[in-house]
Amino acid sequence: MLNLLAHRHEFDGLAAAPSSLWPAFEIGDAAALNDFLRNPDPNLKSLLVDFAQSRGNYEARIFDEGVLPVRKKSLHDLFNVLAWRTFPRAKAAINRIHKDAMATELPGKRGRCRDFLTLVDEAGVIVLVQDQKSAERMAAEIRRIRQGDPADYPDEVQRLLAMTGTQLTIFGHALFESLVLRPETLSKVGAFALILPRRGSETADALLAEFLETRSLALHPALFPSLRLDIVFKLFLEERNIHNSPG
């Protein structure tokens, strides 16, 4: 597993290299992960991992107890820990909205809001653009391209997302798991595009958190188009190469 996780530039946007945390997941070293999850922002609470997963509702344990259930040797949970450390505001917003929504649902029935949150959490990609009009145009264009010739889709989407001022941030932890374990399926995996306007120097994490909080009563999967994951990772790497190139 360490070989699969090492030296991958697709992980450059995360708070740490996944390979540095994998040994803790192999042996169930909660203390090492707790140290990693300690949040430097005093306004955000730190989580403690629990490898036992022995009791209670997942979202409620995070919200009420500050406990993040994880499984030993789980790549999915490894990337979830990394997501909590990299995007603490957005992850906390998702957890809060889940908890609030659960109180209004019938037992055993998940509403559309929580379905949306799960898609964002597992497979979200943040696309920052210049302004709200640009966001609306891009969403419409992605949908138009999906209705066209499938053979044209890769070039059309790459052209669209390579526009000046567009910034990709891979958020969903399941997307990284797919990259590592199932790279041959990336062209068949849909990433959920959250197209948001930039505002000053605010981070993608802060912008997504604010969007979720302000739209929590009207969240629905149909609001946001999907993108092929192979193209998302390709453009993410190209963007990093441009920013990191000499001169």
- DSSP letter assigned to residue 190: E
pLDDT in tens, 4-26: 999 899 999 999 999 999 999 99
Q: What is the pLDDT of residue 245?
A: 45
Q: Which residues are 142's β-sheet partners?
A: none
Averaged pLDDT for residues 108-129: 86
Strands (E), 58-189: 67-69, 124-129, 167-170
Q: What is the pLDDT of residue 215?
A: 77
Q: What is the pLDDT of residue 79?
A: 98
Reply yes or no on whether the pLDDT at 203 is more than 90: yes
Map out the domains of the chain as residue ranges: 2-92, 112-244
Which burial class, exposed, middle or buried, applies to 188 when counting CB atoms under 10 A from its CB (0-12, 13-18, 19+)?
exposed
Residues 206/86, Cβ–Cβ less than 8 Å: no
Q: What is the pLDDT of residue 214?
A: 86
Other CB atoms within 10 Å distance of the CB of residue 88: 23
Distances in Å between the Cα of 4 and the Cα atoms of 19, 135, 182 are 9, 35, 11
* Average pLDDT taken over every residue of the chain: 89
Q: b or e along 31-41 (b: 16 or more beta carbons within 10 Å of the residue's beta carbon)?
A: ebbeebbeeee
Q: Using the structure block, give the residue that is written with the tokens 């997963």.
A: 53
Concatenating the DSSP letter of every residue in 139-195 gives HHHHHHHHTS-GGGHHHHHHHHHTSTT-EEEE--HHHHHHHHH-GGGGGGPEEEEEE
From CA 197, how far away is CA 46, in angstroms rounded? 29
Averaged pLDDT for residues 111-118: 81
* 3-state SS assignment for residue 99: helix
Concatenating the DSSP letter of every residue in 194-246 gives EEEE--TT--HHHHHHHHHHHTGGG--GGGS-EEEHHHHHHHHHHHHHHHHS-
Min mean pLDDT across 44-48, 221-225, 228-232 is at 221-225
Residues 192/120, Cβ–Cβ less than 8 Å: yes
pLDDT in tens, 42-66: 888 889 999 986 677 888 899 999 9
Q: What is the pLDDT of residue 60?
A: 87
Reply yes or no on whether the pLDDT at 210 is more than 80: yes
Residues 173/80, Cβ–Cβ less than 8 Å: yes
Residues 160/145, Cβ–Cβ less than 8 Å: yes
pLDDT in tens, 163-190: 767 899 999 999 999 999 999 999 999 9
Q: What is the pLDDT of residue 242?
A: 46
Averaged pLDDT for residues 123-151: 91
Q: What is the pLDDT of residue 100?
A: 86
Give the torsion sign (CA, 162, 167, 172, 177): positive
Q: What is the pLDDT of residue 246?
A: 45
